[in-house]
Structures are given as C-alpha cells and as structure tokens.
Structure 1
C-alpha cells in the first residue's frame, strides 16, 4: 500500500521525523518497505508566468518568451515546447539552478538569442515521463514561488508491506489510527457533514443472500455533472497513492476507498434496467462484462448485484460495464455494503482478475460506519459534481456478531516476559479504540467493527506488545533446567534415517506433494487420486500416493544435464483415500497420510576412477542398501516377486518384514525407461517410515578364539524353488538342532543352469557354510555331520539332490 506522508499527517501529526515515523510503523508490524521522496533533488526552480511568447527570428520551432519570475523584471527565455503560450504558469529553472542529474543552468545563446534560464517539463524535473510540453501549473500560484513548496515536492511516499490480517490498515485512516495509538498524537479523522435529502428518490434493493451480504446501503443522486474537473489536491493525492485519475465520479470513489478503506460503487442509475436491484448468488450459465471489458462466466459460488435477470456487478470485486458511469451520466446510485469475507475470498483469483475492492473485502471491511462513509462520498460528489441527493437506504441483513475476547493479565506478562502493569494495558486498549471491561486480573474486550484480526487471547497480547514496543521488551535468554533425556536405543528418528541415507551415498531431495495426474494414473495405477481444488499449476493436479515418480523425474532432470551418476532419496508423506481415517488433530477424515522413505539410483555403482571397472548399478546393489537400513532385522526380512506398473515385471519385489509388506524394490519398467529417455533403468525402492523407526536391540555375543571352518554344498533343485525358501529351511534346521549351532553363516555364492537346455527344469545352487565353536576346534567329522544334516533337510523339503 502506497500513500504520501502529507496525507497521513493531515489525520495525525506526531512529533516525529520521517525516518522515526517509518521506524515506529515497522516495529509495530506495519513494515515500511520503501520511503522515497516524491521528486528527486533539485534547486533553483520557481513558478513563472509567461507574459509573451514570440517566434524565434532564426528558428521555426523555438519561441522567445518573456516571463515573470517574481523578481520585478521580465526574463527572456528561449523555449522549444509546443505548448509555450502567454498567460500560463510553468516551472522556471533560473540561472544557477541544479536539475536532476546534476544539470546546472546558466545563461546561454540559442540561435543568436540570449536565454536566462530554462522552462521545464515534468520529465526534466523528474516528476514523470511526460515530455510533450511544459508542465502547466495552477494559475493561482504566485510567480517566484519555489516549485518544491508550491507542489509539495518535499513530501515522502510510504510503501507499506502489510500482513493479510491487518485489513484495517489498507487505508490512510487505519494507518493514522495506528500512529495515534503508537505515539499518543491526536487523531483527526475525516468528519462528513450530514447530508440532508433534497429529493425523495429511493432505489428498491432486495438482499436474498444473507450469507453473501450482511449490510447494504445506498442513495440516489440526480443531476450530477460527470464532466466536472477533479480538484488538483484530490488528483495529487490519488496519483501519489498509485491511482490514475479517470473522471470526477470514479476519482471520488477511489479517494474514499483509499482514505477510509471503504470500497464503494457508483452505478449509472439510468442504465439499471428494472430500476431495482437484487443482491444474490449467481446462477449457473450467467455471464457478466466487467469494467475492464473482460467477460466472465459466473457460477453459484459468486455473488452478484443484479437488475431483473441480468447481473450488473460482481459483488465485492468489480462493477459491470453496462451500468458504469460515463462522462454523460447525470443520475447515479452510490452503493456501500458489507460483504462477508468468506463470500469474496478466492473469487477474484479464480477469475484471474484483481481489484482493490476484493483485496479489502476478502480481508474484512468496517461494517458499522457505512452511513457515515456514504455521507462523506456524497458530500464530495455534491461539492465537485453538484446534484441533489436522496435519503440513505440502509438494510441490516446479517450483521457480524463480535464475540468478546478475554485477556488475562498474568498470561500477558508470562508470554511477553515483562511485568506489564494494569494501567499500561488499559492505556493500550484505549489508544487502540477498543471497548473493554477490566477486572483486577483480566480484560474483556469487544473487538471494533474494523478489526477482524481480534479473535483470541493471543491477539490481544500481540496488541499490547506492539503498542508497548518490541524494542522495549528485553531479549533475555530463556531460563530452563538442562535435563538430559534418554533416547530409546531401539527408536530411530527421521533425522537419523536421513543421516544413514547420506552415509549410503544418497542425496536428499524434496519434491511437491502434488503431482501430475498421468503419474498416478499410468505409472502407479491409482484409480481415484485425491484432486486439488485449486492447483498452483494445471499439471500438478493430484496428491501423490508414492514418492517414486518424483524421484524418477529428478533422475531425468539431472540426466538431461549430463549427470552420469545419480543417487537420491526423499522422506515425505503420501496421500490416499481411506474411509477408516477419522478427523483428529493431525488427521483428515477419509485421507491416509503415512510417511515413506524412497530412493532411486541410476548410473555407476561407484564414481569413475582408474582402479575400478565401470559397472552400472543393479537390483542387488540397491537391495543391499535396503538390508543395511533394516540392519539387525534381516532375519525377518523377505523379498517376494511383485507385479507393479512402475517396475520391471521380472526384476521387482515386495519387501516383507515379519510377514507384512513394508515396501517395494525394483528396476524401472522398460516402458518408462524409454519414455523418460534414460538409456538404462534406474533401480527404485520405497519403504514405510514406521518400519524404519524401530531397530533391533543390539545383542552381545562371545568372540571365539577358535578357527572358522568353511564347507561348500552344491545341490540341484527345481527352478521354481526360490533361494529364500531354501535359506528358510536351513535356518529352521539349525534352530531345531543344538548340534548345528556351530553354523555361524550361510551364503549363496553360485547359481548355474545347463546352457545346452533351453528350458532347464533344474538349477544348481552352491552354498558356503561358515562353522565355528567358541570352546574347541572343529574336526572334520563334526563339520561333515552338520553339512549332512542340512543336506538331508533340503532333500526332504525341496527334493534337492547333490550335484
């Protein structure tokens, strides 16, 4: 929000410099983003009246002007501006003046004629980019007046960066209230004169949507002169607040909005077809051409002001073109209303339009002072455009009920950390214009009609802190007992998991939780993903049910930028429908939001170097990473074949822990490898966060001083037998027989099929057993007996035979 300092000081004028005022506002939460002078620095420029302007004897486009600069003698100035004419007041840079850009003015000869100074355009003074002619000044200005004083060019433009909750400060009056509360300076608000109705005309208005409009007021004014000139002071204030002057009626409406924060709308009364208005929700299929000449399609979520069946205005956002005032308008209807913020919020953004009115209404506008504000705008219209005003038709439809908020003094002192007194709080609320009842230990405050941000106790505590001044609250460090807490050994935090992934040479990424619809539909086979009502981009339309497609996109992005080795992971939430989920502090009914860990690897197993051969990562490399993450629980870890639309049909598996599926792993499906133009397939995995939070308790084992004995066992088994099923059998056999406890480790080290047989029915598996006793050295007979028992178990359960 931009406004000139002079406008603010017309309402409240504290004894503070510009810099001090800027600092006080910023420290009170109204950040002054910029404080720039209205005009750049220059000197020696005065008001001058052109007495005569004669053609230059030696140049067709130059004129020799005699000007009165208030010195008692006329000055001769050669000027090339097309609008130089006798009788107008213009800026004159006298001899010795310094213009923006350090341009110094002296006596010069132009085509043989002496010129004692320079008549200036707006651009030459740095006031605007207008260079079409001289800057014509008000005829009432006396020659010789310093131009900076005449045009108030030493003013400062403040630009505030307001937070969304401070809608009351989207006006000069709102900021003035704050300055008055912060400094104690007297507030002189605009006081409208009571407008006595000189005609009895009333436009009939029916409000049929109380959830859209809480209060509606307006009045008829006839016989206005829409071609009247907007006063220079009003134009100047509008321009310095960033508003372009359009016409008197529009300028007055904009002025009231900026000064009071009250958006109003002026209808051309003669263009209202039914001579009556209805405030209602729009109907499907209706359309409206707005003031900006944009035609929009309306729906039932949008409010309108209609005449008969035809919408004439988009409620709280923008008026319609058909009833807009023009220079030929003579009869008008001025409307001011309270629109419920929730009925306006988001509509302008949905229609891809913006307006000053919607910016204010969706945050909340004062609902009590509507008649007073109508009187003020009416007074300006009558003073500038003339006419006769009718009575105000004020309808209270559904006024907000402001609930009193209680603030405990002890709570305020505890939150702020300073001994705030009862008198300080009372003074603060009085300065802010709050109506309150005070007891010895609490304040019961009724929020003003212009403050929609006061709803809970903490809001009042914040007001106390702002007015006391954050600078006056000492920055004392918190005092608390330093107590070390025991961390359970079997619990692992998200931070620890991230650190372990980093230790496995993965880099963390953070992707959007909303993804492309095609990812969910085609890559993951999700039939009914959760759709966003208002996506930030058209392609990011649904919530993700898996982290894997996002990681694939990360790999493609980096591969396209010549990265040859990519190892990334993400720890985040996914979203799916689940009717069993109920509303709670951290849950939403019908939506499951578990956390998952996912990783993706593409390229070489190791960075390129001379000592290692180049090898692309494969399924088993990533499988090992998963086993490391689940270290200590691998005895219960299983990998079973899985069919998934994202993964290779023969190189993917579901990850099982304690008989439950906790994730999946596999190569990217060849179809997606080709579509993503990756050349080779990345290997992906995804695990539930819950399965990683708990780790096995470390177990203590005695270290044996005896040597380890190794034996190999090669067997033939049917090709449909999985290695895991054989390992499970070996594990059960060892657990059931005390004599086999010396078997410390079992590993598969070879698998072979007869290449001469196209469809071999058997495969050869070779296992290596490591045996060790803690007490004695194992002899061959004992070792062979252990291997025989294991072989017999495999023969019995899997029909294995020795190779």
Structure 2
C-alpha cells in the first residue's frame, strides 16, 4: 500500500522525521518496504506568469517570452514549448536554479538572451511528460515556490501488510496505528449525515444475505460529472498509486483510500428497478470495465438490477454500469461483502482490483453508512447535486460477530517476559480502541468491528508487545544446565560412520528423497511407490525406498563429465509403505548407508597395473566398516543387481543389506559405461561396534594344519566356514580359506576349498594327538553337513 506522508500527518503528526516514522511502522508489524520523495530534488523554481510571447527572429520553433516571476521586473526567457502562450502560469526556473541533472545559467539562444527556463513536468522530474510546459492553476500566486505550491516536499511510503491487517489498508487505519504507538490524539475528518433534499430512492434486495449482509445506496441528482477534481485530491491519489480519471470516480477512490471502504457509482439513468445482490445464474456473462467479457461461475456474487448484471460484487463493475462525463444522476453504493464470498474470485477470472484486495481480507462491516456519507459530502462539494435518503438493506444475523476474548495478565507476562502491570495492559489495549473490561484476575476484551485479526488470547498478547515495542523486550543471555550423557562404548554415531567410510576413499553425496518413478520401479522393484501429491518437478514424483537410485543418478552425472573413477556414499532416510509402522502410521522410514564404486580399483599409478573395481573390493570395504562385527555374505538376488554377482549381507543371522554389481540392462539403459558395484545396509548395522575382549598372549608355539575339502560346486565357502567354526575345538584359534581349486583331478561339478587351521594353547605345548583330533572333528563336520571328502 502506498500513501503520502503529508496526508498521514493531517490525521496524526508524531514528532518523528520520515525515517523515524518508517521505523515506527515497521517495528509495529506494518513493514515499510520503501520511502521515496514525491518529486526529484530541485530548487529556485517559482510560479511564473507568461505576460507575452513573440516568435524568435532566427528560429521557427522558439518563442521569446516575457515572464512575471515575482522578481520585480519581467524576465526574458526563450522557450521552445509548443503550448507556451500569454496568460498561462507555469514553473519558472530562475538563474542559479538546480534541476535534476543540470543547473540554469544565463544563456543566449540564437542570439537572444534568456534569463531562466520555463519547465515541463519531465524537467522537474514529476513525470515523463515533456510535450509542453507544466500548466499550473490560474490562482497560483506568482513568485511562490513551486515545491510549496504542489506539496512536493512530501514522501511516499510503501508498506507491506500481512493478510490479517486489512484494517490498515486505509489512511485512517495507518493513522490509528501511529496514534496508538505514539499515544497521540487522532484527528479524523468530520463526517456528518447529509440530510436528503429529494425523495428519490431505489430499492435494494439481498438475495444472498450470507455473502452480502449489508448494502447501502443513495441517489444523487443533478451532479456535474465534468467538474474538475481538486488538485489536492489528485495529488493524494497519484501518490497512492491511483491515476485521476474523473471527479466522481476520483471521489470513490479517495474515500476507499481514506476510510478503507470501496464504493461504486452507477449512472442512475441506466438502472432499471430494484438493485439485487445475488449469485450468478447459469450461462450469465458480464462485460467488465476493463473491456473483458467473462463467463460467470454459479458461486460468483453479482450486483444486478431487474434487467442487467451491473458488476461483480466487491471486485469490478460492468462496462455499462459506470458513470461518465455526461452523467447527471448517480446511484452510490457502499456495501459489506463477506470475505469468503470474494476471496480468490478475481484471481479465478485472471485479474485483480483494489476493491477485491480489501474485501477478500475483510472490510469493517460498520463502515458502509459512514463511507456513503463521506462520499456524498465530497460529491456535493465538488460536483454539486441533490442527495436522496440512504437506503439500507441488511441481514443482521449474517453480519460478523466480534466475540469477547479473555486475556490473563499473568499469561501475558509469562509469554512476553516483561513486567506489565494490569493498569499498563489495560492502557495499551485501550489505545488501539479495544473495549476492555476487568473480571477478577482477567480482562474481557471486545475488539472493534474493523479488527478481524483478534480472535484468541495470543492475538491480544501480540497487541501488547507491538504497542510496548519489540525493541524494548529484554534480551537476557540464554541459560540452561548441561549434563554429560552416557554414551555406550559399543555404539558409534553416524558421524563416526561417515568418517570411517571417507577413510576408505569414498566421498559423501546428498541426493533428493524425491525420485522418478521409473528409477524406483527399475532399481527397487517397487511397483507401488509412495507418490507425492504436489511434486516439485515431474521427474521427482515418488519417495525413494532405497538410496541406490540416487547414487546411480549421481554416477550418470559424473560419467557425462568424464569422471572415470567414482567412489561415493550417502547416509539418508528411505520411505517404505507399512501399515504397522511407527511413529508415522503407514510409513516406515529407515536410515540406511549406501556405497557405490565405479571405474578402477585404485587411482592410476606406476606401482600396480590398473584394473576395474569388482565385487570383492567393495566387500572388503564393507567388512572393514562393520569390523569387529563379522558379516556373512550369501548369494542372493536384488532387482538392481546382476543375479550372479550379488549377495545378501547378514549379521548374527539377521539380514541387513545387499551388495553386488548393477544389472547389465540398467547399465545399458542409464548409460553407466562399466558396471558399478553398489552396497546398501541398514544404518544400525554400521553403528554396532562390539567391545574388544581381553585374551592373554600365548608363549607357546602355534600349530597349523591345512586341509582341502572336495564338495559340490554350488556350496558357498561362507556356509562351510561357518560350520567349521561352530565345530572347532577350544584350541582352534582361527580358520581361514586360502585356496579354491577346480581343474585336473577334480570332477567338473566339484571344487576344492583349502582351509588353514591355526591351533594354540596359552599354557602348554600342544600334542600331535589332540591336534589330529581337532582337525578330524572339522573334517567329520564337513562330511556330515556338506557331503565333503578330504582331498588326498
């Protein structure tokens, strides 16, 4: 909202400069976005009266003017403006005057001396109009400073209002705030009922009382619609961002800016019968003042007579309903429209208006009779005419109610942290015209009709802090007690996990939790992902159930930028539909860790030949991350992975994740180049860090035995190793697989697994018999569980 500072100061004039006034408003919640001068800086420009003009002897387009500028003797000024003529009064810049961008000096134009300059609006910085001299009013005193005459020592203030402060969409509303903040009296314009001098009236019918519970109308006959709008009114309108159109339209706009009540003036000669506030009928159309024809929806509130639709209520009038310069009799409307009936309607039809901006936020429902009297006053002063009685149609039951709100002073003091006593609280609230009544230890506060925003106790507490001053609130240093919390030694945190992964030459990435449904379907096998109702982009329309798609997508971006070696990881939350999930019913949100390695196993170097990263490289990284917890890897299938090069990961028999090579079809579809190796595990698995257990160092020699077992090709070594460890005697310290053989001497469907068994006792040297017995027990377990035989 724009307004003139001088206009505001006619209503309340605090002892603050312009910047101080802007700061006061901002700190009260009426944020000042900009303060700019009403005109560019210039000096020594006075009212000049052109006494005579003569054609320049050597220039067809120049005139030699004799100008009375109040300097005693007329000034000779050479002027090129086409509209310069004797008798008009114009701005005259004297010698030494400073205009925007230049200074006036004595000059000779084509040999004729010139002692000043007659100015256009553009030369004074008032507008872009440079087609001729700026014409001043005929009664302007000669020699008066033009800045003083035109009130140019003014500032235009622009404030940004929150939607709940519609009461400040008027000069009186802003002035009310300033008066309350500075505890100064408010000088309101004197508005008295205008007695009717004729009996002409028009009936008003409320066909939709819930949408329009109050409608005031008045006929004024014999107006001079061609009368000139006073300069003071034009200036106030223009500095509020509204151009002057005609006297009658300007008056309705002025009252809207002054009081906050939009009005509309109709040519009474074009109306037929009663005025109706009703909803649109099927198939109705309307040609608006902006020359736009619209098809009306059934829930659009209209103003109509017995014959035609006159306009959209509270938004814009129809083309055939407005006043013109030939209007003699007018019908003036001031109504209250419920915000629910107006909100969003203008945007639905693709436009907006000052009236809709106010009505959809809430206009004072008690203001309609006052506004119509104020507009009548101004019309009679400027355009003349004879007013009829005010017709008021209203549905009192549908008017808004201002319910009392209970305020507990103790609650206010606790929330604000300031010691306001009860008398101070009452005084602050009464300054904003709230009706305050004490009831024991509480206040019963009733807001006025224009305060839509006060409904509950905290609204009143907000008023208190605004009026007291946000900058006056104490700012004590925060206080709190700190306690050292227990941290289990057998648990890591996610930051430690991140550091461990980074130490393995991986870089962390953060990807969106929103992904394309094709990625979810291909890489997660999820045909029913969690879909977003309002995705930020069409290709980010579902929630991820795995981190793998995000890492693969990051790899594609790196591949396009010629990154040959990529090692990345992410720790993040995934989203899986689960009816029994907690704490969010219907959605399980596990935190997971995912790793991806692509390209060469190591950076290019001279010390070792280059080779592509493989399954076992990433498996080693996972084992190092989970250590000392032992993880088991077993062949398994996953929608994203190569079926022969993937495995499940489990700890203590519980599955915790998957590892493997991306399936060739996804490598081809997503243009990944060589197949990357990926792994995804539950974050809880990586957080486990078992405490080390003490074991004495043996002084006795260790004994090793190697045994090669021949078994079926389909049996995995991890299962065999787990069975051997379960059957190991107490003297067995470690069992390690060191060789896998297939070839000569072994059946084609068989393979040989060679294990090295380390045995040792801390107190004595082992005997051959017990060593042989321990090895024999291992062989017997392999024979029993896997039908294995000892290779000769």
Q: TM-score range by the shorter chain?
A: 0.7 to 0.9
Please give the secondary structure, in 2, of the residue aligned with 1:207. Answer: coil
The answer (yes or no) to whether the contact 1:312–1:319 under 8 Å persists in 2 is: no
Q: Give the Å deviation of 1:325.
A: 3.1
Give the match for residue 411 of structure 1.
411
Aligned residue for 2:217, secondary structure, equals strand
Q: Structure 1 CA distance, aligned partners of 2:680 and 2:272?
A: 65
2:206–2:394 CA contact under 8 A, matched in 1:
no
Partner of 1:217: 215
- SS of the equivalent of 1:26 reads helix
The whole-number CA distance in structure 1 between the counterparts of 2:551 and 2:444 is 54
Length, aligned pairs only: 781
Higher gyration radius (CA): 2
Q: Report SS of the residue matched to 2:415.
A: helix
Does the alignment pair 1:325 with 2:327?
no
Question: Counterparts of 2:363 and 2:434 in 1: how far apart (Å)?
Answer: 17
Q: 2:478 is matched with which residue? A: 478
**In structure 1, what is the equivalent of residue 43 of structure 2?**
43
Show the counterpart of 2:435: 435
Q: Structure 1 residue 698 and structure 2 residue 691: aligned?
A: yes
Distance 1:420 1:277, change over 3 A: same
Corresponding residue of 1:641: 636
Q: Is residue 133 of structure 1 aligned with residue 132 of structure 2? A: yes
Q: Determine helix, strand or coil for the equivalent of 1:59.
A: coil
Q: Does 1:739 align with 2:740?
A: no
Q: Which consecutive unaligned segments of at least 5 residues does structure 2 have?
A: none
Superposed, 1:142-157 pairs within 5 Å as 142-157=141-156
CA distance in 2, matches of 1:216, 1:563: 71
- The structure-2 alpha-carbon separation of the partners of 1:16 and 1:641, relative to structure 1 and needing over 3 Å to count, comes to same
When structure 1 is superposed on structure 2, of 91-100 and 325-334 the one drifting more is 325-334
Contact 1:492 1:694 in 2 (8 A): yes
SS at match of 1:436: strand
**Map 1:175-194 → 2, pairs under 5 A:** 175-190=174-189, 192-194=191-193
Paired position in structure 2 for 1:160:
159
Query: Tell me, what secondary structure is at the counterpart of 1:11?
Result: coil
The Cα of 1:485 is off from its aligned counterpart by 3.2
Task: Compute the displacement of 1:95 (Å).
Answer: 0.2
CA contact (8 A) 1:730 1:794 kept: no
TM-score, structure 1 length as denominator?
A: 0.81
d(CA) in 1 for partners of 2:249 and 2:783? 96
2:3 aligned residue: 3
CA contact (8 A) 1:633 1:695 kept: yes
In the alignment, the residues of structure 2 paired with residue 347 and residue 488 of structure 1 have an alpha-carbon distance, to the nearest angstrom, of 61
Q: Would you say the 8 A contact 1:404–1:447 is kept in 2?
A: yes
Cα distance in structure 2, aligned partners of 1:533 and 1:290: 36
Determine the structure 2 residue equivalent to 1:207. Answer: 208
Which whole-Å CA distance do the structure 1 matches of 2:333 and 2:620 have between them? 75
Give the Cα–Cα distance (whole angstroms) in 2 for the partners of residues 31 and 312 of structure 1: 37
After superposition, residues 259-270 of structure 1 pair within 5 angstroms as 259-263=258-262
Question: 2: CA distance between counterparts of 1:696 and 1:569?
Answer: 20
CA contact (8 A) 2:568 2:596 kept: yes
- Give 1:422 shift: 2.0
Contact kept? 2:93, 2:117, Cα under 8 Å: yes
Q: In structure 2, how many angstroms separate the alpha carbons of the residues matched to 1:295 and 1:663?
A: 63
Q: How far 1:62 sits from its partner (Å)?
A: 1.9
Query: What corresponds to 1:118 in structure 2?
Result: 117
2:34 counterpart SS class: strand
1:265-276 correspondence runs (5 A):
none
Mapped to 2, the partners of 1:267 and 1:570 lie a distance apart of: 68
Contact 1:192 1:375 in 2 (8 A): yes
Of 1-10 and 178-187, the range deviating more from structure 2: 1-10
Helix, strand or coil: the match of 1:95? Answer: coil
Aligned to 1:392: 392
Distance 1:293 1:768 in 2: 94
Other-structure match for 2:673? 679
The answer for unaligned runs of 5 or more in structure 1 is none
For the residues of structure 1 that align with 2:219 and 2:172, how far apart are their CA atoms?
26
Query: In 2, Cα distance between the equivalents of 1:431 and 1:601?
Result: 66
Q: Is 20-29 or 793-802 further displaced after alignment?
A: 793-802
Match of 1:66 in 2: 66
Q: Deviations over 1:614-648 (max 9, x none)?
A: 6665555555666666556554x66663443x665
- Which residue does the alignment assign to 1:793? 781
Per the TM alignment, residue 108 of structure 1 is displaced from its structure 2 partner at its CA by 0.4
- Cα distance, 1:14 vs structure 2: 0.9
Alpha carbons 1:165, 1:452 under 8 Å: kept? yes
Within a 5 Å distance, the mapping from 1:588-603 to structure 2 comes to 592=587, 594=589, 596-597=591-592, 599=594, 601=596, 603=598
| 2:367 counterpart of 1:366 | no
- Report the Cα distance in structure 1 between the residues aligned to 2:67 and 2:401, rounded to whole angstroms: 65
Could you tell me how far 1:37 is from its partner in structure 2?
A: 1.9
Q: Give 1:348 deviation, angstroms.
A: 6.1
In 1: Cα distance, 2:248 partner to 2:294 partner: 25
1:521-575 deviations in whole A, cap 9, x for unaligned?
6766665666666555566555555555455555545555565555555555555
How far apart, CA to CA, are the structure 2 residues paired with 1:512 and 1:19?
Answer: 45
Query: What's the offset of the Cα at 1:418?
Result: 3.0
**Match of 2:450, SS?**
coil
Work out the CA distance in 1 between the residues paired with 2:44 and 2:345. 52
Q: Secondary structure at the match of 1:67?
A: strand
CA distance 1:738–1:28, shift in 2 (3 Å): same
Once the two structures are overlaid, the 10-residue window that deviates more, 442-451 or 258-267, is 258-267
What does the per-residue CA deviation read over 1:233-264, in whole Å, with 9 as the maximum and x for residues that have no partner? 33322322333445555544544444444455
2:105–2:116 Cα contact (<8 Å) kept: yes
Deviates further, 331-340 or 418-427: 331-340
Distance 1:763 1:677 in 2: 37
Matched, 1:727 2:715: no
Q: Determine if contact 2:34/2:157 at 8 Å carries over to the other structure.
A: yes
Check whether the contact 1:752–1:763 (CA below 8 A) recurs between aligned residues: yes
Contact 2:246 2:325 in 1 (8 A): no
User: 1:226, 1:327 within 8 Å by CA — same for their partners in 2?
Assistant: yes
TM alignment of 1:178-327, pairs within 5 A = 178-190=177-189, 192-195=191-194, 198-207=199-208, 210=210, 213=211, 215-219=213-217, 221=219, 229-248=228-247, 251-263=250-262, 277=276, 279-280=278-279, 303-305=300-302, 318-319=315-316, 325=322, 327=324
Tell me, in whole angstroms, the C-alpha distance in 1 between the residues paired with 2:421 and 2:580.
51
Contact preservation (8 Å) 1:640, 1:655: no
Q: 1:503 to 1:86 in 2, by over 3 A?
A: farther
Aligned-pair distance for 1:109? 0.5
Change (3 A) 1:481 1:681: same
Select between 195-204 and 524-533 the one with higher mean Cα deviation.
Answer: 524-533
The alignment partner of 1:177 has SS state of: helix
CA 1:785–1:335: 2 relative to 1, 3 Å: farther
Aligned-pair distance for 1:395? 3.2
Q: Distance in 2 between matches of 1:328 and 1:185?
A: 42
Alignment partners' CA distance in 2, 1:753 and 1:374: 104
Contact kept? 1:203, 1:220, Cα under 8 Å: no
Say yes or no: does 1:85 pair with 2:85: yes
Residues 294/479 of structure 1: CA separation in 2 closer, same or farther (3 Å cut): same
The Cα of 1:486 is off from its aligned counterpart by: 3.0
Of stretches 464-473 and 489-498 in structure 1, the one that deviates more from structure 2 is 489-498
Which is further off, 361-370 or 707-716? 707-716
Cα distance in 2 between the residues matched to 1:271 and 1:517: 61
Task: State the Cα distance separating 1:153 from its structure 2 match.
Answer: 1.9
> How many Å apart are 1:304 and its aligned residue?
4.1
